[in-house]
Amino acid sequence: MSVTATTPNDLEPFWMPFTANRQFKAAPRLFVGAKDMHYTTADSRSVLDGTAGLWCVNAGHARPKIVEAVQRQVEELDYAPAFQMGHPKIFELAARVANMAPEGIDHVFFTNSGSEAVDSALKIALAYHRTKGDGTRTRLIGRERGYHGVGFGGISVGGIVKNRMFFGSLLAGVDHLPHTHSIEHNAFSKGQPEWGAHLADELENIVTLHDASTIAAVIVEPMAGSTGVLMPPKGYLQRLREICTKHGILLIFDEVITGFGRLGEAFAADKFDVMPDMITCAKGLTNGVIPMGAVLVRKEIYDAFMDGPENAIELFHGYTYSGHPIAAAAGLATLDTYKEEGLFERCNEMASYWEDAVHSLKGLPHVIDLRNMGLIAGIELEPIADQPTARAFEAFLRCYDKGVLIRTTGDIIALSPPLIISKQNIDELFGTIADVLKTLP
C-alpha cells in the first residue's frame, strides 16, 4: 500500500490494536517518517511526539548510532537460534543490562515484548517455588488498575476491566490488591503523593485469606502507566517489599514503562530504592526500534534452577526470537546512546521545568487532577456525563490537528516524551494542550 493511501478500502484489511477501527479508517492519521522529537504525517505535517511513540522511543527517533547498528547487523547476522545456540551480542547485552540493574539482580531472560516478559516472569516465579520444593505456591497477586500486557498471564494479574472482561475466566488462583489512586486525598500532587502507603497492608489481608504457603508472587508497576499515570504513595513500595520478604513471596516490578530513564534512573527500583526479585522491561530497551523485552532476575532465582545434570534444560520456556541478533544490536546501540548523551541525567535536569509546565494547567476547564514524576505526566479530565473517554479522545484529536501527539487512557491524558525534549518543546507541548483544553465541550 502506498504511504499516501487513505481510502477506507486500502486500510480495511489491517485490524488495528487498541484502536477504534471504524473511526480511524474514516479519518486516518498516518505517520510516514520520524526524526528526533517529531513525526511526519502523510500530508507532510510535523507532529511533536509527546508520548515517545508508545512510551518507548526514549532516545528520540532515528538516532544515528541505533540506525547504523541495525543496518550493520542485518548484513552480518540476520538470525540465530537461541535454543542450544547463541551469538556474541546477546551475551554482551545481557551483561550490560545486568550491570545497570539494582545490585543483586544479575541474570537476564530475553523476550520480544513487555507482555511476553510478564508472562515469562510469572512462569519463572511458579517454577522457582516448585524447584525449591514449595509447589503449593501457585497463587499470583496483581493490583486493580494494573496493566501487565495482553498475554493471558498479564491480563489475569492485570486490573483493567476492558482488558479482562471479554476473555473468560483467565488464570485461576489470582487475587488483586486495591489501586492507590485517590483524587480526594492526592489531587495535584507533585511526585509521590503523601496518602496511600497503608494500602500496601491489604497484602497482609490477602495472605490471611489464602495463606502465604499458596502465594508465589506479587506483581505491580512501581508507577502505573497505561492505566493513567498513577504515582506510588510514599512508603507504599517499601511496605510491599517488607510484606513479601516476611512471607517468602517474590516481588516483581513491571518496569516496561519506567525502565531506561523515564524517571531519571535506569529503573524505578533505583528511583524508589526498593529491591524487587524480578524486573520486567521492554520498550526503552531498544528505543522501540526492534521489538524486545526481558526479565531481570536475582541470582538466587537463577541459581535455584542450576541444580541437576549439566546437559539438562533447566527452564522449559522461551521464544523463537528470544535474543534476536538485530534486537540485540539495537539494544547495545540504545544503551550507548543513553550513556553517551547522558539522557538519564537529562531527565533529572528537565524534571523541574516539566513539573512546572504540567501544573501550569491547574484551573483550566475540566482538569480535575495533575500528577508527574521524571518526564512523565497524567492530566485527568472530568468525564462527560454518560460519555466516558469522549472528552479526552476529543483532546487527542484536536492536539493532533495542531501538531502535537498525546496519548489518552480513559479520560486521562498521558505524556511521556523522548528524553531529548527541550524546554522549547515542553512549552509547545503544554501550550497546545492548554489551548485545546480551553476549547473542549
Task: List per-residue pLDDT tens for the chain, 441 residues long.
Answer: 334 545 657 999 999 999 999 999 999 999 999 999 999 999 999 999 999 999 999 999 999 999 999 999 999 999 999 999 999 999 999 999 999 999 999 999 999 999 999 999 999 999 999 999 999 999 999 999 999 999 999 999 999 999 999 998 899 999 999 999 999 999 999 999 999 999 999 999 999 999 999 999 999 999 999 999 999 999 999 999 999 999 999 999 999 999 999 999 999 999 999 999 999 999 999 999 999 999 999 999 999 999 989 999 999 999 999 999 999 999 999 999 999 999 999 999 999 999 999 999 999 999 999 999 999 999 999 999 999 999 999 999 999 999 999 999 999 999 999 999 999 999 999 999 999 999 999
> What angle, 0 to 180 degrees and rounded to 10, lies between the N-to-C axes of helices 236-247 and 202-210?
20
Instruction: Please state, in angstroms and rounded to a whole number, the distance separating the CA atoms of residues 207 and 416.
Output: 35
Residue 169: per-residue pLDDT = 85
Query: Which residue segment(s) compose the domain that 357 sits in?
Result: 8-59+342-437
Instruction: Please state, in angstroms and rounded to a whole number, the distance separating the CA atoms of residues 391 and 412.
Output: 9
Q: What is the largest CA-CA distance in the chain?
A: 68
In a domain, 2, yes or no: no
- Whether 329 and 385 map to the same domain: the answer is no
Burial 177-214 (b: 16+ CB within 10 A, else e): bebbbbeeebebbeebbeebbebbebbeebbeeeebee
- Whether 225 and 146 map to the same domain: the answer is yes
Helical H segments across 27-113, by residue range = 52-55, 64-76, 88-100
- Whether 80 and 173 map to the same domain: the answer is yes
Instruction: Please state, in angstroms and rounded to a whole number, the distance separating the CA atoms of residues 49 and 403.
Output: 9
In a domain, 1, yes or no: no
Residue whose C-alpha is closest to residue 224's, from 143, 155, 281, 154? 143
In a domain, 413, yes or no: yes
- From 340, 371, 403, the end of a domain falls on 340
Residue 3: per-residue pLDDT = 45
Q: What is the DSSP letter of 191?
A: S
Instruction: Please state, in angstroms and rounded to a whole number, the distance separating the CA atoms of residues 221 and 377.
Output: 16
- Whether 252 and 299 map to the same domain: the answer is yes
Gap between the terminal Cα atoms of the chain: 37
Q: Is 160 helix (H, G, I), strand (E, B) or coil?
A: coil
Residue whose C-alpha is closest to residue 282's, from 260, 297, 264? 260
- Whether 214 and 254 map to the same domain: the answer is yes
Contacts of 338 (CB under 8 A, 6+ apart): 58, 59, 260, 261, 344
Instruction: Please state, in angstroms and rounded to a whole number, the distance separating the CA atoms of residues 56 and 49.
Output: 11
- As given in the structure block, the three cell numbers for residue 436 are 485545546
Q: Report CA 106 to chain centroid distance, whole Å.
A: 21
Give the number of other Cβ atoms within 10 Å of residue 144's Cβ: 16
**CATH number of the domain bearing residue 110:** 3.40.640.10
In a domain, 185, yes or no: yes
- As given in the structure block, the three cell numbers for residue 378 are 497524567
Q: Is 393 helix (H, G, I), strand (E, B) or coil?
A: helix
Instruction: Please state, in angstroms and rounded to a whole number, the distance separating the CA atoms of residues 268 and 122.
Output: 20
- Whether 201 and 335 map to the same domain: the answer is yes
H-run or E-run covering 369: strand 367-373
In a domain, 119, yes or no: yes
- Whether 351 and 302 map to the same domain: the answer is no
Burial of 235 (0-12, 13-18, 19+ CB in 10 A): middle
H-run or E-run covering 189: none
The single-letter code of the amino acid at 214 is: T
- Whether 76 and 188 map to the same domain: the answer is yes
- Whether 352 and 390 map to the same domain: the answer is yes
In a domain, 365, yes or no: yes
- Whether 78 and 220 map to the same domain: the answer is yes
- From 273, 308, 340, the end of a domain falls on 340
Residue 30: per-residue pLDDT = 97
- Whether 295 and 361 map to the same domain: the answer is no
For the chain, the domain total comes to 2
pTM over 0.95: yes
Instruction: Please state, in angstroms and rounded to a whole number, the distance separating the CA atoms of residues 79 and 321.
Output: 8
Residue 308: per-residue pLDDT = 86
- Whether 51 and 148 map to the same domain: the answer is no
For residue 46, the number of C-alpha atoms closer than 13 Å in the C-beta half-sphere is 7
